[in-house]
């Protein structure tokens, strides 16, 4: 059976580390719901040792337990230390998937740890953390080699082999500074996987504008060596500095890129029809506009003005369009109301609130239930600091107890 390429979206972990922006816990939850509908394999949904994440993480694990996430796995990011692992499983006992991260390059060992750790002690810390995670109930453990792209290959192989022996299920090759090229990352990952013989995650950054090319090249290298690949993505390419690999661009590259389509196998659960709604919601939640030229999703992705191009596209869209707009969930008109509109906010009253939900075809069994949901919607508006979208209003009505937990933080 051919090895596959899976997607692990890290928007709710690395995306939210983007400087100057943030997401509310409700917005992170909604992104997980969209990712689930899109068929993404896993969401790195947060930091289990960070106290303000605790209620959100446990609420989302509850959604997974109730099968409200039909397919999506939830993974937590931790430092590769026994203390972090113990704290994580104490705060989020139902956690099943974790990635344990530690730096592996000489640069970081010498100039980040400043003598606190050396090459041997890094492997020792990491292996002890892996064993502890497995002992505490982790079903899947990924080990992150931070700055793998600048790590000496012989040490990267030693580190990864030790992780495998300790019980790790995957190694995450992190191009932390975005310094790899499609050529170097292919050679390094192919060599690494042939030596360690286990699945590999590819985590790339866009500092040189090569993030999607590097990501699919790394996946190709792992597949060519006979093992599954897991590409880390962020919705709309969010992420630290210049960002991470854009989720939709990665999918399109695998499905339509020359040398990829029909030769490499993308996780069959992926449903691109969710892309339009997912990306528009993420843009709204982050408060960051989608670039006009963003692949598949940008306003100009299917726009033609030049006479020759317009003529060709009208004759047959395949003349100037590589994939169909309908495949991405585009094509339906967006309705903008120009008359009276009643909205639900932090100061809403019961009549206006019920009008909003009636339009969404949500019926409450009695006044008491309506009043309880109204109170939650008020809190949600304060929580988000912006008007709620329809999907958020519906989620709150359908999952009031879980929503209440998401809105709650205990300092």
* Cα–Cα distances in angstroms (integers) from residue 313 to residues 206, 256, 300, 307, in the given order: 32, 18, 14, 10
State whether residue 154 is helix, strand or coil.
helix
Categorize the per-residue pLDDT at 342 as very low, low, confident or very high, splitting at 50, 70 and 90. Answer: low
Categorize the per-residue pLDDT at 341 as very low, low, confident or very high, splitting at 50, 70 and 90. Answer: low
- Determine the pLDDT at residue 153: 98
* Cα–Cα distances in angstroms (integers) from residue 363 to residues 24, 188, 250, 369, in the given order: 27, 57, 40, 10
**127: how many CB neighbours lie within 10 A of its CB?**
21
3-state percent breakdown (helix, strand, coil) of the chain, nearest 5: 50, 15, 40
HEC-encoded secondary structure of 322-354:
CCCHHHHCCCCCCCCCCCCCCCCCCCCCHHHHH
Instruction: Give the C-alpha separation, 227 to 173, whole Å.
Output: 14
pLDDT in tens, 274-290: 999 999 999 999 999 99
Among 244-253, 269-278, 343-352, the minimum mean pLDDT is found in 343-352
Instruction: Give the C-alpha separation, 348 to 331, whole Å.
Output: 34
pTM of the model: 0.96
pLDDT at residue 346 above 80? no
- Among residues 65, 82, 173, the alpha carbon closest in space to that of 134 is found at 82
pLDDT in tens, 309-338: 777 777 888 888 899 999 999 998 877 777
């Amino acid at each position: 059976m051919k090895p596959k390429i899976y997607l692990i979206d890290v928007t709710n972990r690395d995306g939210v580390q983007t400087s100057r922006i943030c997401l509310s816990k409700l917005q992170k939850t909604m992104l997980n719901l969209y990712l689930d509908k899109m068929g993404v394999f896993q969401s790195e949904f947060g930091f289990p040792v960070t106290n303000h994440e605790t209620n959100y993480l446990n609420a989302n694990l509850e959604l997974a337990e109730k099968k409200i996430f039909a397919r999506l796995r939830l993974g937590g990011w931790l430092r590769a230390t026994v203390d972090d692992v113990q704290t994580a499983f104490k705060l989020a006992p139902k956690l099943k998937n974790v990635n344990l991260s530690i730096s592996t390059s000489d640069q970081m060992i010498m100039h980040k740890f400043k003598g606190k750790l050396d090459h041997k002690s890094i492997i020792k810390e990491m292996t002890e953390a892996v064993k502890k995670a497995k002992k505490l109930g982790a079903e899947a453990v990924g080990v992150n080699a931070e700055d793998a792209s600048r790590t000496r290959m012989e040490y990267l192989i030693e580190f990864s082999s030790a992780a495998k022996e300790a019980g790790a299920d995957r190694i995450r090759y992190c191009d932390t500074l975005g310094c790899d090229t499609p050529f170097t990352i292919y050679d390094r990952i192919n060599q690494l996987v042939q030596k360690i013989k286990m699945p590999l995650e590819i985590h790339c950054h866009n500092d040189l504008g090569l993030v999607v090319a590097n990501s699919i090249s790394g996946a190709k290298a792992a597949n060519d060596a006979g093992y599954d690949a897991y590409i880390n993505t962020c919705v709309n390419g969010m992420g630290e500095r210049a960002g991470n690999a854009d989720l939709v661009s990665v999918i399109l590259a695998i499905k339509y890129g020359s040398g990829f389509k029909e030769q490499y196998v993308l996780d069959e659960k992926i449903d691109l029809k969710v892309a339009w709604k997912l990306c528009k919601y993420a843009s709204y939640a982050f408060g960051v506009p989608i670039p006009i030229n963003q692949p598949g999703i940008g306003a100009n992705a299917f726009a033609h003005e030049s006479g020759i191009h317009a003529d060709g596209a009208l004759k047959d869209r395949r003349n100037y369009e590589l994939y169909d707009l309908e495949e991405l969930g585009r094509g339906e008109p967006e309705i903008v109301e120009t008359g009276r509109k009643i909205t639900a906010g932090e100061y809403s009253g019961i009549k206006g609130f019920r009008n909003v939900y009636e339009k969404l075809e949500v019926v409450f069994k009695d006044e008491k239930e309506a009043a309880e949901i109204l109170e939650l919607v008020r809190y949600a508006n304060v929580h988000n600091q912006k008007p709620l979208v329809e999907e958020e209003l519906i989620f709150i009505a359908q999952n009031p107890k879980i929503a209440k937990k998401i809105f709650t933080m205990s300092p």
